[in-house]
Amino acid sequence: MMIVLRVRGNTGINKDIKDTLDMLRLTRINHAVLVPDDPSYNGMLRKAKDYITWGGIDQETLTQLIEKRGRLPGRERITPEALAELGDYQSAEELSEALITGKTTLKESGLKPVFRLHPPRKGYSHIRKSFKEGGTLGYRGEEIITLIKKMI
């Protein structure tokens, strides 16, 4: 399971890249989505690499993300009672484990598929450079976890 985060806006963007970002449900800055690690999504991520950053997510960070930033339809917060009503999950930890193993998706579990995050504390570093060059964009691997924790 990978998490994808939009870093840059729509100004001056190519139509093909805008369509790709719309298919990923990344319509605004600081929105994040979970995607499976398969070739079709990897191609989409490489196409939009100048506007997003992505990497693998662990269960602990996903649990925090669901508890603090996950929303039900109607912008309601997630509670243990709401999770019990939606499915067989008693806590956010059980849901995050099911998401990482691929047993379910956010949409199937009744949650909104997009996480709306705060801007990172201390800001982004160079939003026009790739991560390998000391910037923010592109593939980060496990380093995405530190960025997501700054944004929760």
Identify the CATH number of the domain in which residue 46 sits.
3.30.1390.20
- pLDDT higher for 110 or 24? 24
d(CA 5, CA 107): 18
- pLDDT higher for 108 or 86? 108
- For residue 6, pLDDT beyond 90: yes
pLDDT of res. 5: 95
Neighbours of 134 (CB within 10 A): 9
Q: To the nearest whole number, what is the mean pLDDT of the chain?
A: 91
CA dihedral 152, 91, 58, 136 (to 10 degrees): -20
Range of the domain at 123: 1-152
pLDDT digits (tens, 9 = 90+) for 31-64: 999 999 999 999 999 999 999 999 999 999 999 9
Q: How many distinct structural domains can be found in the chain?
A: 1
Q: What is the pTM of this model?
A: 0.88
d(CA 25, CA 23): 5
